[in-house]
Structure 1
Amino acid sequence: MKEEKEGRVEIMDCEFEVFREVVEYMYTGRAPKVNEMAEQVLVAAEKYDLGRLKAMCEDVLCSKLSVGTAAEMLALADMHNADQLKINALEFIKAHAAAVTETDGWRTIASEKPHLSIEALCALAVAKTGSANK
């Protein structure tokens, strides 16, 4: 194997700083820069099955949800099986639907991942119907 001969392994699909954060976490259980690169670390944590690190990333991303980021976070969560982030993004979208649906991120998921926009709008409809029946 090339890796054995050269004494190194090339990781081509992950930036150096992101992988450094992953390795730091694997050795120490800490990820000191996770706030700065939570999206990228979440992708790596999913790939390497690091559930606790992935949860840390989800917590950071949930705390940063905004009108401008909610749609992108929903897509990221869906793509990388980040259930807590997906739940929080859907809740945020329900609470701020009028503003979120005007963003470029929303237009992107509506055209590229229509199942997500349908899921969000169904959740909104259920919430509206449920509150109207009370």
Structure 2
Amino acid sequence: MFQKSFIESQTRQVNIDDIEMEVFRQLLIYLYSGDAPKLASDEVDVKTTQLLFEVADKYAVETLKKECVNVLLKEVDAENVIKLLVWSNFHSITELFDGAMKVLVDNFRAISFQPEWLDFMKNFPDLCLVATQRMSALLPPSTHSTV
């Protein structure tokens, strides 16, 4: 990009169009200081943290990815668990997936009545199956034999 034949070397500007300005700003602050202010604040924004994870993944900043996962693990609740479960599965974040699955199983009675649950069952039957299997593992063993 900075070689003579590229426009960036002539204009001395690099345009990054696929990242929100605030998320990129957080990445730069982290790269220069080792600290991402938005992750340390009391008002953590889950969506911004997810976007920051995706940027850290794109640029292979493993320590920032880990920090984002740790923040998201603290933020998983009955309201956002389905979204975080699907997102963590898509990004292959095992630790967050397992944490979200635990919250889902622990709060299943309330979550199963949310409109998001029906969408989850329709759109992600494979994840729904995993959740069902984890919930069934918590049931006491059957005393009746089946034929």
Q: What TM-score do the two structures reach when normalised by structure 1?
A: 0.86
User: Matches of 2:122 and 2:79 in 1, distance apart?
Assistant: 17
| In the alignment, structure 1 residue 79 sits paired with structure 2 residue 90 | yes
Distance (Å, rounded) in 1 between the aligned partners of 2:81 and 2:14: 36
**C-alpha RMSD of the superposition:** 1.6
Instruction: Please give the alpha-carbon distance, in whole angstroms, between the structure 1 residues aligned to 2:89 and 2:76.
Output: 15
1:28 to partner: Cα distance: 1.3
CA distance in 2, matches of 1:101, 1:109: 10
Unaligned runs of at least 5 residues, structure 1: none
Task: Output the CA distance in 1 between the equivalents of 2:120 and 2:132.
Answer: 12
Within 2, Cα distance between the matches of 1:104 and 1:44?
A: 30
Matched, 1:4 2:12: no
Corresponding residue for 2:51? 40
In the alignment of these two chains, the number of paired residues is 130
| Greater length-normalized contact order (CA 8 Å, ≥ 6 residues apart) | 1
Instruction: Find runs of 4+ consecutive structure 1 residues off by over 6 angstroms.
Output: none
CA radius of gyration, larger in: 2
After superposition, the Cα gap between the structure-2 partners of 1:8 and 1:90, relative to the gap in structure 1 and judged at 3 Å, is: same
Are residues 4 and 72 of structure 1, via their aligned partners in 2, closer, same or farther at CA, if it must alter by over 3 Å?
same
Q: Distance in 2 between matches of 1:6 and 1:112?
A: 46
Q: Deviations over 1:90-110 (max 9, x none)?
A: 011111112122223333332
Kindly indicate which of the two structures has a greater share of residues assigned to helix.
Answer: 1
Does 2:62 match 1:51? yes
Q: Residues 47-72 of structure 1: CA distance to partner in whole angstroms, max 9, x if unpaired?
A: 22222211211111111111110000
Residue 73 of structure 2 is matched in structure 1 by 62
Where 1:66 maps in the other structure, the secondary structure is coil
* Identity level (%): 25
